[in-house]
Chains A and B, each alone.
Chain A
Amino acid sequence: MFYNNGLPALWLIPALPALGALIIFIFASRMPARAAGIIACSAISLSFLWVLNVGTTLVLGNHHHFVEHHWNWIAAGPFQGSASFYFDLVTFAFTFVVAGVGLLIHLYSYSYMKGDAGERRYFGYFNLFAAAMLVLVTAENAFFMFLGWEGVGACSFFLIGHWYQKSENTVAATKAFLVTRLGDIFLLIGLFLTATLVGVSFSQQSAWTQVATSSFIPGFGGLTGPQLILITGICFLLGAAGKSAQVPLQVWLPDAMAGPTPVSALIHAATMVTAGVYLIARFHILFALSPNLMLAVAIVGVLTAFYGATSAFVQTDIKRILAYSTISQIGYMFLGLGVGAWSLAVFHFFTHAFYKALLFMAAGTVIHSLHNEQNIYNMGGLRTKLKGTYLAFLAGAASLAGIPFITAGFYSKDAILWNTLSTKWGSPVIYGIAMLTALMTAIYSFRLIFVVFHGTPRKDIHVHLPDRLLTWPLYILAFFAIVAGFLNLPIVFGVTPIWEHSFARVFGEWQAEPLIHSHAVEWMALLGSGVLALGGAGIAWLLYSPAKAPMPEPAGDIATVENNTPAPYKAVWANFLFHGWKMDGFYNKTFVRGFRITSGVIAWIDRVFVDGIFEAIQAIVRGFHALVIFFQNGRVSRYAMVMLFGAVAIITILLIGSQR
């Protein structure tokens, strides 16, 4: 049961948190609120231990992957989906983060959510989310993966709307759900195409190479193989963009910060939003077969990275800064995928999970200590009061900014940048934009540090010291945010990049090889991005050091700026960036209004014509009812008379019929 042929069972990984959620939901009313947290933490820690067990077996045994078949789930013609699990290095990376970082965030939540009215519900959904996310990354085929995909979407909805008493939170939850659902529609179309063309099992994906060479495929209206690949890939890209908050479906993530901060750390930074990266990495063969598709992924990635960095630049809410930075960083992952650096995209996901979860949780500690204050201009001078949190935050921000040589973020981001410049799918233009983005990333990272932790307190808020569960998970994550980079040191250091080397087994020939072999050029690129990071930190010091006035200039008192303020800044461009390039307004004016008008028209048609038809039918039926019920008056004489008429009618019909 727990071991098959000496190999550890995979189903336990998602089953343990699922069991935890089940226990919490069934016995919620009969357990103390704290017990729910203990159950949830135990379930996820057991799951994490099991992930370590499976992962070490995989790595030490030098296996390519494990497969575990349970039962046939969907079987309808070409749609064959089984409840089966799959575990390779990519799965290991993702499960390690989901269960490992997830465990730290569970522990953190145990303290953070203490005394919350919905504590049991929170932990129930937290565990359910972990279970769904683990199904997503351990599924053996895309249909089973889709089960987890939708499961995490639902849990994200529940957890964003955790404080549902405030209507804006439910609005944010609904927005997140609907926008990702829009992407899911495309994902489903892509899945159906995959199912009909090659089958949904991940081990069947190499069959795309045959599709790429066939000029005619029956049943697709004359579309050629490469065209079908392009369509399928675009559908997957849109599905991934919805889930991972990429342009053009990125608008939901900043609003999703309405949920509790640990939710943002787990779901909207470390795990769920990277599901799109996982999806494309799983279908890398499909993408690699079409250069146009790769270019599309790279453009989406670099645009999103740029978009997120510019928007993060002017935000005043600490969580929204981090949300935009998440959008931007996932953009880098997509860029990595788009240039064929599959393993490096996964590596950036890996390091990002640590430092972004760390930043969110440290921000949560700050928010918690300041009694739910989120505006950074009301903070300041926290360096001395929250020393441990400051150091952890500094480590995270340095990693985010990519401070050279000592942080994980530097190694993972720089590797992607180098591949952008050097591989066949990359281009210097994209490289340039990505470098510019890196500079801005460093600036907004250190803006956070200087405004929140340096100088003097701008507002007299009593600082309430965090307990150990709110700080220790930060230190652990800070450790990883620094050292995780050493898993993949650049080749120019004269060492083997362990990560890339191991993942070559998974991505094999599809992994893009650098076309530029000159070590000098690579050193220059490396040093260039390092200089950019340090320069960004310097610029941040010039702009936001305690001695300077906050930039850009606010329209009024910047400390009172709220997220939904129409125009907090004097400068038009700053307001434009503050509202995320006014994408919400644009979508409201075009899609939402268009949809409302269309549905209004349809509702009118429904009310007038469709309802009218049925009301007419109803009136007719009632009229006939009145006609027939008239005879039913309970008198034997009338009944006998009707019988007689009936008999006469029958005989008449028969006699007339016989004369003919």
Chain B
Amino acid sequence: MNTEQILVEIREANLSYLMLAQSLIRSDREQALYRLGICEDTANTISGLTPAQTMKVAQSSTLLCRFRMDDELVWNLITSHGKNAANEGVGRLHAAILLAGRHQEAA
């Protein structure tokens, strides 16, 4: 991938993310906060963007959304590595409980 391609891909991803976020917020604001892992203020900003602003924000050299599972414990549970390898369903449920418990990032 050359630089130009990278920028195009990032813009596409940013645009998809913003549009998905906007429609989630429109259909159920509170559940959207949980799904997106964002706070009320961020939700207000995103839902208040005009189409022109959305395009401008998406046009960036970095991604707007960030990886949420940045620790080894949750990652291993989801990808079924380590001692839980045989119990995938249990691992995913365990990861869901751990992720749902992280409201300090949103609030």
Q: Do A and B bind each other?
A: no
Q: Interface on B for A, CB 8 Å cutoff?
A: none
